[in-house]
Structure 1
Amino acid sequence: MRHAKRATGKMKVVWNVVSALSVGIGIWATHFVAVLAFQPGFHFGFDMGLTTLSLAISVLLCGGGIAMAVHGTNRFDRILGGATIGVGISVMHYTGMAALLLEGEIAWQSGAVTVSILAGIVLASAAVVVGFDGNARRSLAGAGLLTAAICAMHFTAMAAADFSACTALAGASEMNSGLLSLVIALTSLMVLAAAFGSLLLDEVDRRHTMREAVRQAADAQRLAEVNDRLSLALTHMGQGLALFDSEGTLLLHNTRLLELLDLPKSTNAVGERLDALLCRSLEARGMDAVAAKAKAEEIAASYALMSEQVGGDIVQQLSDGRAYRVRSNKAGRGAWIATVEDISASRRDAAAIAHMAHHDSLTGLPNRARYNQVLDGALEAALASGDKLAVVALDLDRFKDINDSFGHAAGDQVLRALADQINGGLKDGEMVARLGGDEFAAVKPFTTMAALRDFLDRLDQAVNGRVRYGESMLMVGGSIGVAIYPDDGRDRSKLLNNADLALYRAKAELDQRICYYEQEMDEAARERRAVAKDLWTAIETEGFHLAYQVQKSVTTGRTTGYEVLLRWNRPGHGPMSPADFIPIAEECGAIGAIGAWVLSAACREAAAWPEPHKIAVNVSGLQLAQFELVDMVKHVLDQTGLAPHRLELEVTETAIIADRKRALAVLSNIKALGVSIAIDDFGTGYSSLDTLRSFPFDKIKLDRSFMPEVEHDEQAKAIIRAILALGKSLSVPVLAEGVETSAQLDVLRAEGCTEAQGFLLGRPGVIDWDGMRRSA
């Protein structure tokens, strides 16, 4: 069927007939082979006329259905053709059944007969639709559906036949079953052999014709492709291409060459000499004829000389700023090929990349790498001339607040505006660079302090003021630190470090925005580094020890717990206050290890006490910002065996405010372990009521700064009264720190304070459970 569809003319009819014979005889052979295998219990014969008629019906009806499908134009035609084949299967079957010679009549079940006819029609239609178009897999699927149509129709129809009333017909001529089988088999094989033979011959001829046609088409296509590719390559080359003979006459060129020479695309330049072509190009750019001719001859001579040698390339700079790279190569027999490339953009890109490598992308100021180069050069010049050189460190104040409040876009706008203001006030020899974030640095060679002060005043004015962002006016400011060569250092590293030290002091001072480096700053920095080194040594050697300050009930005087205090005898220096070394520990990163040691040592000692008193341990803001604190507390409690309700962690509101959400999450997880949480130093700093509302603290510790004035200052007494009332309303006990006199304790007792600690109740020391206390 598929061959019939592809064929034309007579071959279409031939293939239609071949397919009709194939399927018709196939159906007929299937039916009679199956009937020969049927054993109703008696012998029957075949009417030769009806048997032959059934074969003709099968071939003709199936051929008609195939013709409908082959000559049809849409799917409906194929469905109708398949249905006709299905009808042919049914008509052939019931005609073949009528060819049986027997006594009596076959009884038919009408329902099964209907089902058999419909099964043949539906499955045959599906077979034609599926197998008619498509690949080999769909052809096999169509063949399977056609087989199913034949078998379904036949066996359903046979099941519908009732032979109970039939017997052998006496005197009827009986065709030999074996002979009929042989006739069927030979007929089928002959038709199928003819079909496959025709298919093979057709395929051989078709493939031969196709190969010859494909070969000729491929040759023609290759030739066309070569021409097209050559033309395409010449047309779309990024460079101009020119082929000259040994006399310098142009033999071949592309359109790009004319564009680069500023000549019209319609210009026919083939046959022109190089000097004449260049002269036309120069005249097109506005040069007068005489000058253009002289210049063209000069350029042509240089190109000819280069082509006579091994070739090479030169860069031709044009008057309008463009730059061309011309490459020349020998092509044999004296001919040479030249390519012309516009490198103006690449040169601009290279300049831009070089600028980006040495300048800040946001502000356009020089970056750290460029600053270091300039500073090194300025130091060499100062060494040679004997002049002085100022190295300036500049840092913006409150820049983080701008980013947090208005977003990073506002911060970027501030940096750009300040960079413009700074650049606008610079003079020869001065440079300001952005090193990163809101950090800037400057270099100023000078001979008089007046010149340096003028430069610093201009910087100060540029970075202190207002910057508009949308509808808002943003207040900005900056701090400046200055180190001077050679007084404050002779190399870049030393000068930058000393300028930073001066900057730190400027940021710490309330009344100064510009600070000069002083020797004491370096000494203080060295001392801090030495303390940091000793702290790490103390961590490794367990050079710390703990002291305990008692906490008592104000009303009963009963001991309620002890606050754990860290003590350190610095080797070679003696006792050092935690107020002095804790900030350094936080700067150098030692606070985490120190806090872990304090918590572990305090819990281990408290677990061994004969009295189950509570201990209070301070937690730094850096520890509170880490979720690992929760695991550490749990591990220490498990390791030491201290009951969680005996441990109280003290945190300041300042530590919470640094990262409120994270801090409260950490505290919630610790509180879930059964550990108490106290807010320390309440009444100073933020003292936000929202903090008390956001977290269920177990204790409020009243800061010691109120105690010295509580006896005679009504305002201090009123503040204490308010805090105590707040604690009472929240059902949170209040502990007063720094109680040193009986009068102070009486005031607390009268105002309803819960607990107190201070020198009056006991100095910090090592607990002697025999009743003795040694001073720490």
Structure 2
Amino acid sequence: MIDVALCIATEHDPWLVVLAVFVCGAGAFSIVQLFERAIGTLGLQRLGWAFLSAVAGGATIWCTHFIAMLAYQAKAPVTLDPVLTIGSLIVAVVGSCIGFMVASGRQGGAWPVIGGTIFGLAISAMHFIGMAAYRVDGIVTWNAAYVVAAIGCAAIFGGGAFFALQSDRFGRLRMAAGVVLIVLAIALLHFVAMTAMHIAPVAMSSAPLDGEQVRALAIATALLGLVVIAAGVFAALIDQQTRNDAMAELRQMAMSDGLTGLPNRIAFHAGLVRQIDVAAANGQRVGLCAIDLDRFKEINDLHGHKAGDDVLMVVAERLRRAIRAEDVVARLGGDEFVALIRCDDRSQIVAFADRIDAALRTPIRFGEFDARLGASIGVAVYPDDALQEDVLSNNADLAMYRAKCEGIGAPCYYDGALDEAIRERRELANDLRKAIDENQLEVYYQVQASVADRAVTGYEALLRWTHPQRGMVLPSVFIPVAEENGLILSLGEWVLQRACADAVEWEHPSKVAVNVSALQLAHAELPQVFQRILADTGLPAERLEIELTESAIMANRERALQVLGQIKALGVGVALDDFGTGYSSLETLRAFPFDKIKLDRFFTSELAVSPQATAIVRAVLALGRSLAIPVLAEGIETREQLDVLVREGCDEVQGFLFGRPRPMPLGGIELDDGAPMSDAA
């Protein structure tokens, strides 16, 4: 190394040496920037970046060599062979390209080292071809040991450079390490190889290069090389900026709601965690408002989704104006929003929720219509109502749900005692959804019989649910839960499918009756559901009967009667259930030709002891006969009740006296008529 240092100090122009090292450093930086892109791409992109890296690498090697060679003071006239000089540049570019392709093509293992070694050999090949183009009037001799050392330096530091660029061991310093090692590979190769060369001057050449020409040529070479290197650096910087812009846009898209521009669920959750952390450190409170628009679905149904989107954007803008700069508002999806405030006093949270409520109750004008939305708002406060962000969000949702169910018309604050029942219903809803998906429900059947001859006329399908932990859950509990949580349509379709499939397997052609709720009846596609299930199961339509209450019809009378007409046109029977408890019984009977009237158990339970109940039953039976509609009496549990119905001429009966609901065997359920009351009930 002493000989190398002496060679540099005594046999080279120091300014040109500095210039060569500067060009080498700039080129190494360009190589690293471009090679980083090659590592992170595939296919043609990787090939393109590897080629650009090779161009920068070849220019760096060649310019460094050429300037450093011109810096060498040969003490004899020098000329250059143009063909070999150009050939050396081509060798540098092609060799570098091969090395970069190998180093970037496969991650890990020995490939980066192999590629870097090829790059080092390309440096060596370029140098010695360049020296072959170096024509000096003198006798040139070489020290073989220094030649081998020069090639070894290029190969070792080249392999080390690309190992560092693809290794996690160097961490954030890997790019700096790569630059330094590439500079060492190029510079040491050149100066060690120049130390290996000895020139004995002879006769003077007729056209030697003088000192000024050498410096001018070196500067021109440096400028040309720096232009090429700068082009590579700018290409890498432009690509990096493009990637940064794309990542920023993707991050914005990932963290923002596409319609309103508000933070989305992911961003809001992260913001909630930060606000709670700050509040915990400063002894503050965090108020979380869960917001659900009240009549948004009506706008979508009446005016279309475009109007719905316009309303959501107006709502988002109003929420932005209602909060402070440090507060947060986000859209979770659909018509669900949340707002967040961090403050010192609970009264600030109350004022915050009231501002939001007032902003959402102001009518929204779109087109020729005014939309009066309003919102159900639930508020939970950290640390009063919860200490964890997920529990706080859930408690705000519970309070919002209570506000919606009770129609409070003002922000509703979390109350553990009141909202525990809501939590219970939500858990039950989740379990019910799972029960539907996993086929955990059962259908029981209760027999319906003719009063005249005790013959079985049909069976009513009744849904039963045995919860894995809660045991038997009553229909009066889980049916309202299904209606509240949008499960009633899938639940009703499941029961209908199961009942029809079961009835096809019976050894007797009895009818099966299935209950239909108001929400099912409001569904315009219900007749198509009946038609599809009858076709899928093969059950004749005349063996199917639906039962529905007057309240289900009166929820939307015109649509209900239209849907019922379509179902009846399929051949399905329609029975009016719980007759006598509604508020428009006679008008309902006049408006639609029912196939059966089911007299509510409220009247039949007192037949044996109440003359008034008997009189009402007699009147209903007379009404049925006059309209030619059979009447079935529900809730028959005693022989005395049955005797009254026989005497009054009732058509059909149903109740515990004839059998409790139970799974249907293929042979049918036998009547329990005549069994003692203790056994039947």
* Superposition TM-score, scaled by structure 2 size: 0.49
Larger Rg over CA atoms: 1
TM-score, structure 1 normalization: 0.44
| Larger relative contact order (Cα-Cα within 8 Å, sequence gap ≥ 6) | 2
